[in-house]
């Protein structure tokens, strides 16, 4: 969807429904002549909230993605039927708030310290400053008694800041990444401020009951308050002064119908056949699709695959692994190092396996249009989703949605939130290379009937738990608080 180039900006105090996220649902393209053009971002959150945003005075608040001191920009004021409000950020703010505290402190800590988090007072101060900017902008735009839905780890402080500014608002907060157990979270120097920030919401939502339970435990420890959380039914955190905060799990999903419909089109089916042909028409095509992130376990699956070839458990003439890595956070040192390590691993594998002919390990460092990505899903016999820790992992759900003939297999980390919904997948411990190797061999060797039975069960569950149900479930719970 193209955002509207011209639209009337929403006036202060006019929005009855407000979505707040780190980024606006638009992407900027800077042309060679310096002209900035805008297009709609195809993210799952956008498709999830579009029906909710339509037909009311709604606004999406976020950052445009371009630092104001690099280039003066004016993002579009409309996206379809709802308004956009930019929160301008400078280069220093982006470096310290986003690349610094959000992605060098919170991200690794919340993902089980796969790399060591960094704790710096300057990045914390920037995080506080930017959260306050978002809160102040939201407070100005929201109508009396409006509903505000705040998203993700970049804005953990914002709910309490917004409540201080506008106690009349109904505030929901949703964390898209895992919430760690107490023994990890308590390492954070600013731990109490973070918990108090989140408890400014009326409803705090998580991907899984484990994340919600971890949060309640930490809140009770730090604030010496009671909670009634139950993993099956959710619960409440009771604050001083009589205010109660609802805490529960709301597993996020995808637009299942649109993915399935696209996968079934003749164009995508034809492109899937072409992909297999371009890869040498393997008997088995394995696929990995991930952001280039150290939480995703890309190196584990690549090593497992190479070992299977070296041990002659897989025939390099009949099997190909295609790994697609989407660029991510390229200014962060850990991500630069990860890309170097992955590409070195791929290069070594090419050297070791080159003598046996056509290279069975293929690697692409690039984003793909949605139609091309779906064609890869359709083409793949086995999808490898092996994160060390993941809040949900929507790639697993996208692959399942695209298996319109129930003919694919999913190898899935037991530490992804999706594993709770897909017990029929081949579940693996990504910290064990042997576990990944065994799952690959089992997925390849299973019978057609077993493969179809498993995939059919996953597709049935996914169809019943799509993104519209996720959004409705959260907002209904927020309205009932």
Q: Is residue 4 part of a domain?
A: no
Domain membership of residue 3 (yes or no) is: no
Q: Which residues contact 146 (CB under 8 A, 6 or more apart)?
A: 15, 16, 17, 18, 169, 170
Any domain includes 244: yes
- Distance CA(361)–CA(346), nearest Å, equals 7
In a domain, 240, yes or no: yes
Number of neighbours of residue 29 by Cβ within 10 angstroms = 9
| Of the candidates 19, 66, 67, the residue with the CA atom closest to the CA atom of residue 43 | 19
Q: Verify that 106 and 20 share a domain, yes or no.
A: yes
Cβ–Cβ < 8 Å for 161, 200? yes
User: How many structural domains compose the chain?
Assistant: 2
Same domain, 323 and 443: yes
**165 and 311, same domain (yes or no):** no
**Whether 217 and 333 share a structural domain:** no
Does 1 reside within a domain?
Answer: no
Residue 128 and residue 50 share a domain: yes
Rounded CA-CA distance 279/428 in Å is: 27
- Decide if 239 is inside a domain: yes
CA–CA distances in Å: residue 98 to residues 23, 156, 274 = 11, 13, 40
Report pLDDT for 7.
Answer: 55
**In the prediction, which pLDDT does 113 show?**
85
- Looking at the structure, do residues 282 and 262 belong to the same domain, yes or no? yes
Asked whether residue 207 falls in the same domain as residue 317, the answer is: no
Specify the pLDDT at position 258: 92
Q: Give the integer Cα–Cα distance in Å for 95 and 86.
A: 18
Looking at residue 42, its pLDDT comes to 66
- In which domain, by residue range, is 240 found? 15-252+468-480
CATH number at residue 132: 3.40.50.2000
| pLDDT tens sequence for the chain (481 residues) | 556 554 567 888 889 999 999 999 998 888 878 788 898 886 667 777 877 787 788 999 999 999 988 888 889 998 888 999 999 999 999 999 999 999 999 999 999 988 899 999 999 999 999 999 999 999 999 999 999 999 999 999 999 999 999 999 999 999 999 999 999 999 999 999 999 999 999 999 999 999 999 999 999 999 999 999 998 889 999 998 889 999 999 999 999 999 999 999 999 999 999 999 999 999 999 999 999 999 999 999 999 999 999 999 999 889 999 999 998 887 777 788 889 999 988 888 777 675 555 689 999 999 899 999 999 999 999 999 999 999 999 999 999 999 999 999 999 999 999 999 999 999 999 999 999 999 999 999 999 999 999 999 999 999 999 998 999 999 999 999 9
With contact defined as beta carbons under 8 Å apart, do 265 and 271 qualify? no
Same domain flag for 313 and 430: yes
Q: Are residues 433 and 339 in the same domain?
A: yes
Same domain, 173 and 39: yes
Euclidean distance between CA atoms 240 and 223, whole angstroms: 10
Same-domain pairing of 238 and 277: no
> Can you tell me the distance from the alpha carbon of 8 to that of 54, in angstroms, rounded to the nearest whole number?
16
Q: Does residue 103 sit in the same domain as residue 34?
A: yes
Q: What is the pTM of this model?
A: 0.94
Distance CA 252, CA 414 (A): 17
Instruction: Evaluate whether residue 5 is within a structural domain.
Output: no
Per-residue confidence (pLDDT) for residue 147, from 0 to 100: 97
Q: 460 lies in a domain?
A: yes
């Amino acid at each position: 969807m193209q955002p509207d180039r011209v639209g009337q900006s929403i006036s202060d105090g006019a929005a009855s429904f407000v979505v707040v996220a780190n980024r606006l649902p638009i992407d900027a393209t800077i042309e060679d002549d310096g002209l900035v053009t805008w297009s709609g971002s195809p993210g799952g959150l956008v498709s999830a909230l579009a029906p909710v945003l339509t037909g009311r005075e709604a606004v999406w608040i976020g950052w445009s993605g371009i630092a104001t001191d690099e280039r003066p920009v004016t993002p579009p004021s409309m996206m379809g039927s709802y308004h956009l409000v930019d929160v301008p950020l400078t280069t220093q703010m982006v470096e310290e708030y986003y690349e610094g505290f959000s992605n060098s402190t919170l991200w690794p800590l919340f993902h089980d310290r796969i790399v060591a988090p960094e704790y710096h007072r300057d990045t914390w101060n920037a995080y506080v400053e930017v959260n306050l900017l978002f809160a102040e902008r939201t407070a100005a735009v929201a109508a009396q008694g409006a509903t505000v839905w705040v998203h993700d780890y970049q804005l953990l402080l914002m709910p309490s800041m917004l409540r201080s500014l506008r106690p009349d608002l109904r505030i929901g907060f949703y964390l898209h990444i895992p919430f760690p157990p107490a023994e990890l979270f308590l390492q954070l120097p600013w731990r109490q401020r973070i918990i108090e920030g989140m408890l400014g919401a009326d409803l705090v939502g998580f991907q899984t009951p484990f994340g919600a339970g971890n949060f309640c435990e930490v809140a009770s420890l730090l604030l010496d308050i009671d909670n009634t959380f139950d993993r099956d039914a959710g619960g409440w955190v009771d604050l001083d002064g009589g205010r109660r905060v609802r805490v529960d799990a709301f597993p996020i999903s995808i637009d299942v119908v649109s993915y399935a419909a696209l996968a079934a089109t003749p164009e995508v089916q034809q492109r899937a056949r072409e992909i297999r042909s371009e890869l040498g028409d393997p008997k088995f095509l394995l696929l990995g699709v991930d952001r280039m992130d150290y939480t995703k376990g890309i190196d584990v699956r690549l090593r497992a695959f190479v070992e299977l070839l070296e041990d002659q458990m897989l025939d390099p003439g009949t099997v190909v692994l295609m790994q697609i890595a989407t660029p991510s956070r390229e200014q962060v040192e850990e991500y630069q190092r990860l890309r170097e390590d992955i590409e070195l691993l791929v290069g070594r594998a090419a050297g070791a396996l080159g003598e046996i002919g056509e290279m069975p390990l293929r690697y692409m460092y690039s984003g793909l249009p949605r139609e091309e990505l779906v064609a890869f899903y359709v083409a793949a016999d086995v999808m490898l989703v092996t994160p060390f820790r993941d809040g949900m992992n929507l790639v697993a759900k996208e692959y399942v949605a695209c298996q319109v003939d129930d003919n694919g297999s999913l190898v899935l980390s037991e530490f992804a939130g999706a594993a709770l919904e897909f017990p029929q997948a081949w579940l693996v411990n990504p910290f064990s290379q042997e576990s990944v190797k065994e799952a690959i061999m089992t997925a390849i060797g299973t019978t057609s009937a077993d493969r179809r039975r498993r995939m059919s069960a996953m597709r049935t569950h996914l169809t019943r738990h799509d993104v519209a149900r996720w959004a409705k479930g959260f907002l209904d719970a927020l309205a009932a608080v």
